[in-house]
Each structure stands twice: as C-alpha cells, then as structure tokens.
Amino acid sequence: MTDSTIPTPDETSDSPTQEARLWRDDGWTARVIKNEDDDGWAVAMSKDGESEPALVGPWTMGRDKKNPKPLDSVAFGTLVKTATEFVRRHQQQLHEQLHKSVTVSTESATLNVTLDIVPDDDFPYALLSARDEDGQQVAQVRVSPTFKLSKSSAAAWIENDFRRPG
C-alpha cells in the first residue's frame, strides 16, 4: 500500500482499522508517513474530526532498514497516550495564557480579579472582572488584550471604582 492510498483521518468510519501504516480506533488515527526531512519515517497522530495532526514524530525503520516498522496495538496505545497528553498540555498552556487571576484584599472585601482574553482574529479583546468572596460578579469592563493583570493593576482598578483602565 502506498501513502497515496492511505485514507486521511477525515475519511474515518466507525469501525477500527488496523493496518501496517494506518491504525484507527478510540477517536484517534495513526498514519505512518514518509519523513520529509530525511530518508526515514514519521507517524502522524490525528484526533477524529481535526484537520491537522495533533502530533507528528519519528517512526522506527523496519528490519530491512528501508520500510517503516508496522504499527501494532502496543505502539498505537502508546501513541494515543502520548498524543492525548500533548493535546492536554497544549490546552492547559493556552488556558493559562488566556485566563489570569489575582486576589486583592481591600478594607471592605477580598476580591478575585480575572482577565479573560478573547483571541478574535479581527478584534481581540479581554474582559476584566471582579468577584466577591461569594462568587458574585461586582464589576466587569472590556479592556485591551494586552492589559497586564497584576495585584497592583487590579488594586488600582478597584480603587478607581472599577472604571475602565486607560
């Protein structure tokens, strides 16, 4: 089977596929592909429904040192675990970049101030919000996505009666 006859992940069916260069099961597809950077092979792990692979990594040569080692259930399980962890870490990192939080104590209350960045391609913005100890929203304003949230910037916002920072 040549690479051109290997179905792409969006051509999935509900039944598992277990071939030497293509395994599909549990919402994942592993495809062994020619490594464009050298003479070796790579494996691309794609989550069903995604247009791009979640992870692409080197793949082992077979015994003939020319063709790739065939996929098997153990390798597929390891690849799924690795790709799942990679996606989880990426999502966690993205969440941490887009959502910041600090706690500020004033004379009258302790407030949790959050900055939630909305990464719109045309008009990105962020929401600066304050919640009291009971989780009730006290204030919210729209700010630049480049606003730097810190304890001091949050305290200044609170002291300025929650007016939009300039």
> How would residue 37 be classed by pLDDT, with cut points 50, 70 and 90?
confident
Give the pLDDT mean for 28-41: 89
Does the pLDDT of residue 7 top 50, yes or no? Answer: no
> How would residue 39 be classed by pLDDT, with cut points 50, 70 and 90?
confident
H/E element, 44? strand 41-47
| Model pLDDT for residues 67-80, shown as the tens digit of each residue | 999 999 999 999 99
CA gap 26, 16 in Å, rounded: 8
pLDDT at 14: 64
> How would residue 9 be classed by pLDDT, with cut points 50, 70 and 90?
very low
Structure tokens given for 122: 């045309």
